[in-house]
């Protein structure tokens, strides 16, 4: 990450390989450089517990999937209060 990065967007779980990223560590590294982080939790939300406080991400986004009961075409964007 360089000083030119304004926002880091990272997926919590890959929809292709199923890789679970170490979100808390990635966020920590970005925050050390003053970079806010948006976590895409679309694949994670139906497959694992989401620890928003532990991840300390600035933004968390996910959309309805077939694995959770929700209205179609609805999504969630969470913003940390301090951001």
Per-residue pLDDT tens digits for 20-47? 999 999 999 999 999 999 999 988 887 8
pLDDT at 40: 92
Q: Write down all domains in the chain, each with its CATH number in brackets.
A: 8-79 (3.40.640.10)
- Higher per-residue pLDDT: 34 or 15: 34
Q: What is the token pair recorded at 42?
A: 């679309």
pTM of structure:
0.81
Provide the token pair at 45.
């939300």
Smallest CA-to-CA distance from 48 within 25, 74, 18 is with: 18
């Amino acid at each position: 990450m360089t000083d030119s990065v304004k926002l880091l967007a990272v997926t919590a779980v890959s929809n292709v390989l199923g890789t679970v990223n170490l979100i808390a560590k990635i966020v920590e590294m970005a925050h050390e450089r003053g970079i806010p982080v948006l976590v895409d939790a679309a694949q994670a939300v139906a497959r694992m517990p989401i620890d928003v406080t532990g991840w300390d991400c600035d933004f968390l986004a996910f959309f309805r999937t077939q694995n959770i009961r929700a209205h179609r075409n609805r999504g969630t964007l969470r913003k940390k209060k301090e951001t």
